[in-house]
Structure 1
């Protein structure tokens, strides 16, 4: 039995842990500017991974302190946890990141009770906070009233965003910005007396890029405005391009990208701003893109519950070739797939469940370079049985009975991943036009190359393991055979010793467990001769062992290869 004082103490202990997490999160984030200015690219990647790992590490710290202080007493006092929640609500009232602190409370509760007893009385299944606060605070944006002086505004924008390293040529960059705005904006917009350009004040950092994120507002319309900056080592900071197209900005904030490192004093306000320039993005994805991936998970879960409660949608098996390791199902009206590990894997798969989990964990923490879908893990999920089509539920219970079970009128899923739903590439090509086929096959090759540049080898590169996004980008999403590129031994097939060797059922050369022969890719990847020839014209270098070996040498030498999420004006900068 918990006393009111103990409930308050537990609430304070949980919030103290959150403050510790947020302090270290900010410290890592604030270092992004210096890493960009000093071109410490490997450290930038390491910092990004450290920040992802930070959340679980800090949760573990709090749970250990909680167990040491309260032991089984709190574990057997579930009925008193609403009292802890109410005390916590009072503590977070003045905060500007209170929605994140609710998610933190949920994480602690689920860790203590092992995801059992999930209810809105004990935790924040639904938020108690207003979506926006009206408290006094510093402005979150820079506002520029154009008033017919677009040239002056372009210069002022770059003047307001200064770095420890000077611009290579700020006058040139201001002219580039002006030229783009004059080209992109209709003449009537440029002359609009109410025209405003507005930027979020903090700079968004990721990998080798720094991004100014804003919008252009006329009297009745608005456009996104993103300015990517790069550090040309030995020269200075330079404007790389200017982006005003919503689809292109959406790709920069894609679920296939690593999280930004950006100072976000008021998360809800930042997400609201981003939502205005990217109306097609859900709050879950935007929170995740800012680095708050755990709260992104919370927003996703709430959206899913709302969808299930307010629609007749039912879970069905996802279209496409059935996987050998994963069973995949979906909600037709909800742009997501749900993946669970099968009880048994069909040959020739040699992985086990733990290895599969480690592969998905690798993807979460690695630079996804726009070519791997982000995932969220869920445990002990309860869904009404009535929300499953019978054929779907029967198949899931048959192939994954260790993961999914019935509990009365509910289905309990012990562990699953969720991913954005895409069209499998093999299915996309079945109905694609000639131009769509050309673009998809070319982008498929680019996806493989960009993954390799990020030290990722997909393993199973069949078309069915890639998907096509709504923007037509090809993305890898089957991770059970993924590994670091530097772990693979790329070899050229040795010449046959005798003419009979080529007719033999077994190879005339030894094959180690990590050996890969790129010469075999054309036949392995493409049963369709036309697609094989098309791909060979575009990406024949992928069939050479020397191509892969060259990338391995660069990676081992510490080179961070450029992969930018937009068309560059200065690709050699």
Structure 2
């Protein structure tokens, strides 16, 4: 493995896939392939390239949200940006209270998450007591204008959006491990495998799922080649 390769875990799963294809799933052992990762656990807790940007309500939440929506890499015009901002603020006031909201700030992922016909703004609402999800699905009208469909701010809602029963997101992730760590805070109930699946790394998600299984019920190394989970590679 190349030192400091940013997508090391994806490369390991690719190597496993090629090995299993060439050797017909025979002689599966830690000496021959990456049953467990060669890299430290949660390697990218700190990274040189920020994954998200912080927004503070120094001039009020209306201006903060206007800046957030304006900074999005979307070229189409908005149907009614002021209306959408008003709906978002009303939801935040109802959920957290106007006074508490004045002490909060947003952290928004640099990249949009795309799925089906929606572009999702994925962020975190950082409150004095906790960090909660902040999700905005952005849709396109028949006239080619953008609008925010809703505002989701609970872990339960975020868990459904990122659930395995839904299709995965398409998102630019040069550092998948770092993105998974960033998402983990607002999706505490998701396993590492589920988080990789949610961002479109299906093959590596299967690798992580098998690793989680091995940790829960560690087998003798001599029996690894008999485990059916390797068929996923």
Is 2:66 the counterpart of 1:141?
no
Is 2:210 the counterpart of 1:210?
no
- Name structure 2 gaps, 5 residues minimum: none
Distance 2:46 2:131 in 1: 26
Please name the residue that 2:27 is paired with: 117
Question: 1:123: Cα distance to partner?
Answer: 1.1
Please name the residue that 2:66 is paired with: 155
- Name structure 1 gaps, 5 residues minimum: 1-88, 310-382, 385-407, 419-573
Distance 1:212 1:302 in 2: 31
Distance 2:229 2:9 in 1: 25
Please name the residue that 2:7 is paired with: 97
Is 2:101 the counterpart of 1:190?
yes
Q: Which has the larger radius of gyration?
A: 1
Please name the residue that 2:157 is paired with: 248
Question: 1:191: Cα distance to partner?
Answer: 2.8
Q: Which has the higher helix share?
A: 1
Please name the residue that 2:138 is paired with: 229
Question: Are the equivalent residues in 2 in contact too, given 1:148–1:191 (CA < 8 A)?
Answer: no
- Taking the TM superposition and a 5 Å limit, the aligned residue runs for 1:215-364 are 215-309=124-218
| 1:410 to 1:199, Cα distance in 2 relative to 1, 3 A | closer
Other structure's SS at 1:260 match:
coil
| 1:149 to 1:236, Cα distance in 2 relative to 1, 3 A | same
| 1:146 to 1:132, Cα distance in 2 relative to 1, 3 A | farther
| 1:414 to 1:226, Cα distance in 2 relative to 1, 3 A | closer
Question: 1:235: Cα distance to partner?
Answer: 4.3
Question: Are the equivalent residues in 1 in contact too, given 2:193–2:205 (CA < 8 A)?
Answer: yes
Question: 1:268: Cα distance to partner?
Answer: 1.0
Question: 1:156: Cα distance to partner?
Answer: 1.1
Other structure's SS at 1:199 match:
strand
Distance 1:134 1:249 in 2: 22
Please name the residue that 2:76 is paired with: 165
| 1:189 to 1:112, Cα distance in 2 relative to 1, 3 A | same
Distance 1:207 1:144 in 2: 28
Question: Are the equivalent residues in 2 in contact too, given 1:109–1:123 (CA < 8 A)?
Answer: yes
Which one is further off, 208-217 or 156-165?
156-165
The one of 37, 42, 46 equivalent to 1:127 is 37
So what's the TM-score if we normalise by structure 2?
0.90
Question: 1:157: Cα distance to partner?
Answer: 1.1
Question: 1:413: Cα distance to partner?
Answer: 5.3
Please name the residue that 1:21 is paired with: none
Question: 1:186: Cα distance to partner?
Answer: 3.1
Question: 1:147: Cα distance to partner?
Answer: 3.9
Question: 1:219: Cα distance to partner?
Answer: 2.9
So what's the TM-score if we normalise by structure 1?
0.38
| 1:292 to 1:410, Cα distance in 2 relative to 1, 3 A | closer
Distance 1:105 1:411 in 2: 16
Is 2:87 the counterpart of 1:176?
yes
Deviations 1:44-76 (A, max 9, x none): xxxxxxxxxxxxxxxxxxxxxxxxxxxxxxxxx
Other structure's SS at 1:277 match:
coil
